[in-house]
Amino acid sequence: MQPVELSSVEIVTAIRQGDVSAERVVTAFLDRIARLDGSINAFLVVDREGALAKAAEIDRRRKSGQPLGPLAGLPVAVKDVLCTADLPTTCASKMLAGFRPPYDADVVARLRRADAVIVGKTNMDEFAMGGSNENSAFGPVHNPWDLDRAPGGSSGGSAAAVAADMAPATLGSDTGGSIRQPAGLCGITGLKPTYGRVSRRGLIAFASSLDQVGPMCRSAADCGLLMETIAGHDPGDATSLDTAVPPYTQLLDQPLAGLRIGRVAAHFAAGLDTEVARGVEEAFAVFKAAGATIHDVELPHARYGVPTYYLVAPCEAASNLARYDGAHYGHRCGPASGGKSAGDGATAFDSPLVEMYCHSRAEGFGPEVKRRIMLGTYALSAGYYDAYYAKALRVRHLIRQDYLDAFATVDVIGGPVSATPAFRLGEKTGDPLAMYLVDMYTVSTNLAGIAGISFPCGFTRSGLPVGFQLQGPALSEPLLLRAADRFQHLTEWHRRRPAGCSV
């Protein structure tokens, strides 16, 4: 088989055993990026020279008998929201164009210590705000299954890179579904870990109480392999959980007999595409045939998930993005007029400094980022805080309690990832509310701080992937990965490749 046809687990095994060189593997993926990415636009930067140098070093160390890390030679692409000391980190925004961080994010440092080969940074919605990857300042990402359709967002570049076999594994970030939704729309597997399971240090913040880094790969087994490296306590992240990291890949090969899966009837209400509904129901049938039992459960406050999320997240974003003012961080432009002089009726808003702030932020941020900053600033303003933000926090508590109640009777909850298959580029850009509703099945996972995984469960008649989501209690990643892995042993959906990206 060609290197690009191998899974992440197969690649690291083959390199360690000497069946293939790291240089050959990395070259194969870099060549594929060069051939395909002109039409997909999944990458913002590709580090061909650095990746090949790292691969050659790994080959030299293996031949000389030196120890290798657990991901030795594995090409990995990193979402451009994660700091990399040797590559630009822009968050797909003009505000950070050309920015080079002085340090690596904790997860990037862990990848390097494990001898993974970082091949580049992937495109995304600006500052991770979006569900279609059309908000990037550097152009949209195109779904490899249909180049006229969106890959989902905000980790659309990471999802498309895996779907097109331009990288066997990528990292994304998930604030309201930004790993799981694009994984579903691109026909790959994406894991949103429990809040605190993976360090956020070096992840440029969108909404600090919701953001979480996770793996995006072809299979659940591959996601488990990456989790063994990126998960773990980080004393540099105050929200990092100080709990041992399980050997995820060693816990996969177990039967599903006795697994209790919850099914929420409200997930199948009006608005769910009929082909998506069929694929999800067929996935439930696969699990049932494998020994799991299906139980009806309720999440009564889930219908408030989207409005709650779109208050909490913009409020945190308004605070986090305040630092990008052109003086301390980010794009800077000079004042247009120089402002009024004292004694000419000048106000604080007429000063050259404030004018510079205004022009820098107006030029640096795109429309969706501005929209969310304004929403958050309004909800936090005097007279509105209690009516909006404080109320949203109370509803968030109710959503979290719904999950605790449900997990008292079931082990995991299954259902759709997205109400529709991949939609056409431009289809929802003129209607922000319609775009926000693409997150209706995913945002509650983040609000509750629990774990979730998305994996393919079928295809529409027109050949678009359908995703299935499992949600589990805090630190249930071993169970989610095991369930998804068993499903993938019983089905072939995750092995399908886009016809236009054939090897």
Which residues, in sequence order, are bridge partners of residue 456? 467
Q: How far apart are CA 295 and CA 484, in angstroms?
A: 18
The separation between the first and the last C-alpha atoms of the chain, rounded to the nearest angstrom, is: 10
The question of whether 54 is a catalytic residue gets the answer no
Peptide bond into 93 cis (omega under 30): no
The question of whether 178 is a catalytic residue gets the answer yes
Residue 15 · residue 7 · CB < 8 Å = no
Structure tokens at 8: 């992440």
Beta strands in 239-317 (DSSP E): 260-264, 293-297
Residue 197 · residue 241 · CB < 8 Å = yes
> Any idea what DSSP says for residue 424?
B
Candidates 280, 282, 260; CA nearest to 269 is 280
The question of whether 79 is a catalytic residue gets the answer yes
Structure tokens at 66: 């030196």
Q: From the candidates 136, 178, 418, 454, which is the catalytic residue?
A: 178
Q: From the candidates 7, 154, 240, 476, which is the catalytic residue?
A: 154
Q: From the candidates 7, 8, 21, 79, which is the catalytic residue?
A: 79
- Our separate counts of H helices and E strands in the chain read 15, 11
**Count of Cβ atoms closer than 10 Å to residue 235 Cβ:** 10
Q: CA torsion, points 184, 188, 193, 198, in degrees to nearest 10?
A: -130
Which are the catalytic amino acids? 79, 154, 178
